[in-house]
Amino acid sequence: MKALNSAQHIVVAGLGVTGQACVRFLKTQGVAVSAWDTRDNLNIPESVDVPVTLGEPPQAFWSDVDMLILSPGINPQLPAVRFAADCGIEIIGDVELFARLNDIPAFGITGSNGKTTVTLLLTHILKENGKAVIEAGNVGTPVLDTLSMALDAIVLELSSFQLETTSSLKLQAAAILNISDDHLDRHGDMQRYLDAKQRIFQHCGTAVVWRGQAETRPTSPVNDIILYGLGSAESGFGYTNNWITFEGEPVVNMQHVQLVGSHNVLNIQAALAMATVAGISPEQAAAAVYRFTSAPHRCVEIASHRGIRWIDDSKATNVGATLAAIEGLGPSCSGNLILIAGGDAKGADVTALSAALNEHVSFVIALGRDGERIAALSPASAYVKSMSEAVALAYEKAGPGDIVLLSPACASLDMFDNYIHRAAVFAEAVKEVTADA
């Protein structure tokens, strides 16, 4: 690991999990560290034993600062951040700091949906094949904590917020899994969102690219491209007759995989492609794929009662994730698909759901801040005020062979602590209505 210039004064912005990890790491580097959090009233964690400024910092605050490290939740367009930039202070994120110090082979995964599944699956495949590896970034371990570990590889899940302050990240392989409306309340428009995602390819060896969306192709030069997608393919990864193929040869039988839906076929292909860059053949990786269990709240069946399957996809916090779930489950559903959706759409265009709702969903139950907008997309719909009402109505309408899918297409913070809390409330409501089993 490379070292920092100990003469620097570095300010960490934001004291969430990432900010605390930054403070913890910087203290080991011998630099002068202080912190700033935008919240006026914050209970400062006991572990943060550096000077902390809360709320709007005075202009003099920046007079002796060399670098500002932004936590992903801190918008670079905040007036205080822009003032710091005008003062000539270098502004980066923790991933960029990691990139400057890291010498371990790293793999990067971004996209609107599927990031966590692919990150965890690739990590699982590499571990199963004898690699010392860890998942980090937007899931798992904070990136700076990995720098002291003895590892063969690091698998990074990277959000657009993390990538927009990154410029020198070197990756063995990288992928933008897909692009759909998300975080437009932060980025302003789709082009700026896409530009942030494309930064993952700036210093990348191999780009792993979905054939189905041109926006996922690198706009930066890369050494190699591995393609994947649905349908038969003589090169790269394809999918035919329930088999994932590589160079036209079958490698993974999806009937024996715990991940369900066509969107997870794509996720598995992306992970397999990255594993090949790490020196693992698709045949070696296949056994690990069969043993992989989906991460919580990502299209996971939580109950089956009276022939009705209840699916928790609470992590679907944007329209693209819900589209993937509907289009992945709809064609294979022997009965009706009932969707529970709604929450804070974060400025996204929910009308993009219309075609999928009309083709695959028999009834929509909507709730939350933008729930009425979602309910308006389908003539067979209802708006309710709580998750318990939504589940009770779904139970009333569902019959044998049906699927009830919680896939909100929205953030959860208008009604819940987070998507995990939303999933817990859903699961408890399902438990209550199915208690007569």
Catalytic residues: 115, 138, 183
Q: 22: helix, coil or strand? A: helix
Cα 147 from chain centroid (whole Å) = 22
Strand order in the sheet with 133-137: 133-137, 153-157, 106-110, 170-176, 203-210, 224-228, 237-240, 243-246, 249-253
DSSP state of 155: E
Contact residues for 179 (Cβ-Cβ < 8 A; gap 6+): 111, 112, 190, 193, 194, 197, 213, 215, 216, 320
How wide is the angle at C-alpha 98 spanned by C-alphas 95 and 104, nearest 5°? Answer: 120
- Cβ atoms of residues 42 and 15 within 8 Å: yes
Pairing state of beta strands 9-13 and 67-70?
A: parallel
Instruction: Identify which of 315, 320, 327 has the alpha carbon closest to the alpha carbon of residue 350.
Output: 320
- DSSP run (H or E) holding 228: strand 224-228
Burial zone of 332 (CB within 10 Å; 0-12 exposed, 13-18 middle, 19+ buried): exposed
What is the tally of helices (H) and strands (E) in the chain?
Answer: 14, 20
Which amino acid would we find at residue 182? D
